[in-house]
Amino acid sequence: MDHAAIGHYRAYRPRPFTRSERDTVTVLFGGLHWRAERLIQGALENLGYRTRILPGATKEDLLTGRELADIGQCCPTSFTAGNLANFLRSEAVRTSAADVAQKYVYVTAGACGACRFGQYHQSYELTLRNLGMESFRIFLLAQNGLDQGAADGSGLELNLPFTMGAIWAVLVADLLQDMEYQVRPYEVNPGETERVMRDAVQYFYEVFRTSPLRGGKAGVVLWYLGTDRFLKALGEVRRSFERIEVDRLRVKPVVKITGEFYLQTVEGEANYNIHRWLEAEGAEVYPAAIAIWLDYLMRYAARDYADHLGIDRLARLKLGAVKTAQALLRFTYNRMRGALGNVPHELPDQRELYELAAPHYHGRLSGGEGDMLIGKALWAYRHKKAHMTCELSPYACMPNTMSVGAMAAVLGKHPDLLYAPLEIKGDAEVHALSRCQMILAEAKRQAQREYEEALERSGLTPEKARALYDAAPGMKRATYRVPHCGAAGAAANLVLHLAGCARR
């Protein structure tokens, strides 16, 4: 037996990215939607990092990922690894592989976990090896901190200014995205929402980039919690949205997007442009907020600490800290939401998501979105937040496969819950979209029925409802918040509101 050929397993460990390199090395990142990426870029640049957002992943990236990394990996890994590889290749053609390895580092999510999330570093390492760029540096951010201690040296400091900036950027981006998707399907002048949103994101990029951060560790936290800088900026954005005229009497099904984190978050070829496709098919999209995932991670951590009460003497302290952080996250989200007139959706209560999912999916099964896919589908159904849930499941994803299986039991109990689990392979678009179209057709029928029932309940005809709406121009502003009157669709809620549901 040739022992020389056998080597021990070693975890991927990049050479350090040092503080002195920060002025010359560019941090690459991506994998979120464009609004979140741009605002995070502003927050990182504020801290002195040079940054570059990777282009959106394409089918070509998927094929590159399959070619260079392990073929059996889940499709988000193929997309992101291929996306990075193609970027590095194109840069290396302009300069050289050695130059690219020196000029850039890549930061992405990856952690020890129940699913393949825990093996991301190996997929990336294999990709780099097959690309002939082993010396390129990749740093993985774990769900619970910095993985592997890889970012030794202080080139990349995962400190409080970094974390707080990134979280605040994500919260603002979530709210802007939610607002955009609630307005665009109803805009009277096509293209207006898009223009306002592009301006708003650019404006917020500058707000983050030029933030006058103050204080040390605690000072930064207090600054973020206490400043009205972001609320004022959201107020500005609200005024821009106010000028958009909408017609919310258009009957449209609301489709809630859930699924694996990457696929539900990105907007592009990686998920067949599902957001835009649904809108083009006549739906209102209810996008997936990243904040819900952050909230879930804290719920999960809190439960873990609670289990260690009486075993770990610091468990109570840790439990208190994570619960406080969770409360502050929700408090901040709600404050920001308030600055946008409470038009964006609220964060669902994590306790409720857990309880809804518990009979079908064990809350301790971590990996991916855990029990949230079941919880969110039932939450949207119970509270009439959407007519249909579209779950984006990556090909070969372990947690999503389990969720889809558990949903079979949920659908057995609630046959009228419209649920479209789409397996996303990246190269089977027609199959996935036609499946979605079938459920969407039923969602459209449900939205129409709901609208007609609202008219009947309120004693209005479509013409009378239109006349009442025309007589209240304030309601035609994109920032007017139609109260939830027990219907999922905007048109049905508006009809009930016009008839005075708010007073009943």
Give the residues lining the site for ligand SF4 (CB under 6 A): 74, 76, 115-117, 260, 367-368, 394, 397-400
DSSP-based three-state secondary structure for 165: helix
- Calculate the alpha carbon distances from 368 to 270, 290, 315, 379, 425 in Å: 17, 13, 25, 19, 17
DSSP for 287-323, written as a single string: PPPHHHHHHHHHHHHHHHHHHTTTTSTTHHHHHHHHH
Nearer to ligand SF4, 361 or 381 (CB): 361
Residue whose CB is less far from ligand SF4, 116 or 330:
116
Q: What is the DSSP letter of 369?
A: T
- Cβ closest to ligand SF4, residue 108 vs residue 182: 108
- Non-local CB neighbours of 66 within 8 Å, separated by 6+ positions: 78, 82
Q: How far apart, in whole angstroms, are the C-alpha atoms of residue 448 and residue 442? A: 10
Q: Smallest distance from the beta carbon of 270 to ligand SF4, in angstroms?
A: 11
What is the smallest separation between the CB atom of 297 and ligand SF4, expressed in angstroms?
A: 13
Shortest Å distance, C-beta 260 to ligand SF4: 5
- 4: how many CB neighbours lie within 10 A of its CB? 6
Beta carbon nearer to ligand SF4, 76 or 489: 76
Angle, in degrees to the nearest 10, between helices 120-131 and 59-68: 90
Q: How far is the CB of 301 from ligand SF4 (least distance, A)?
A: 18
**In the complex with ligand SF4, which residue's Cβ is closer, 117 or 205?**
117
The DSSP-derived string for 376-395 is HHHHHHHTT--SEEEEEEET
For residues 204 and 165, give the distance between their C-alpha atoms in angstroms, rounded to a whole number: 12
Cα Rg for the chain, rounded, in angstroms?
24
In the complex, what is the shortest distance from the CB of residue 244 to ligand SF4, in angstroms, rounded to a whole number? Answer: 36
Distance CA 200, CA 98 (A): 38
Residue closer to ligand SF4 by CB (options 79, 469) is 79
| Nearest approach, Cβ of residue 293 and ligand SF4 (Å) | 11
The answer to whether residues 353 and 372 touch, using CB atoms and an 8 Å cutoff, is yes
**What are the structure tokens assigned to 330, written together?**
């929700």
Nearer to ligand SF4, 74 or 487 (CB): 74
Q: What tokens does 394 get?
A: 């990556």
Measure the CA–CA gap between 206 and 38, rounded to whole angstroms.
10
Residue with Cβ nearer ligand SF4 (46 or 64)? 64
Which residue is it, tokens 């708010």? 502
Cβ distance to ligand SF4 smaller for residue 64 or 77: 77
Beta carbon of residue 402, minimum distance to ligand SF4 (angstroms, whole number): 10
- What is the Cα–Cα distance from 355 to 376, expressed in whole angstroms? 11
Distance between CA 236 and CA 233 in Å, rounded?
5
Q: Are strands 145-146 and 284-286 parallel, antiparallel or unpaired?
A: unpaired
What single string gives the DSSP state of each residue in 390-414? EEEEETT-HHHHHHHHHHHHHHHH-
C-beta of 53 vs 398, nearer to ligand SF4: 398
| Least Å from the CB of residue 110 to ligand SF4 | 9
CB of 63 to ligand SF4, least distance (A): 18
Taking the complex as a whole, the smallest distance from the CB of residue 367 to ligand SF4 amounts, in Å, to 6
Asked if 278 and 390 touch (Cβ cutoff 8 Å), the reply is yes
Q: How distant, in Å, are the alpha carbons of 35, 400, 411, 416 from that of 408?
A: 35, 13, 5, 13
Name the minimum Å distance from CB 31 to ligand SF4: 11
- Closest separation between CB of residue 75 and ligand SF4, Å? 7
Instruction: Please say which residue, 74 or 468, places its beta carbon nearer to ligand SF4.
Output: 74
Cα–Cα distance measured from residue 137 to residue 278, given in angstroms and rounded to the nearest whole number: 38
Judge whether 115 and 143 are in contact, CB under 8 Å.
no
**Residue in this structure with the two tokens 């096509």, named with its chain if needed:** 190
- Compute the least distance from the CB of residue 115 to ligand SF4, in Å: 3
Q: Which is nearer to ligand SF4, 161 or 368 (CB)?
A: 368
- Which amino acid, residue 54? L
The residue (of 124 and 305) whose beta carbon lies closer to ligand SF4 is 124
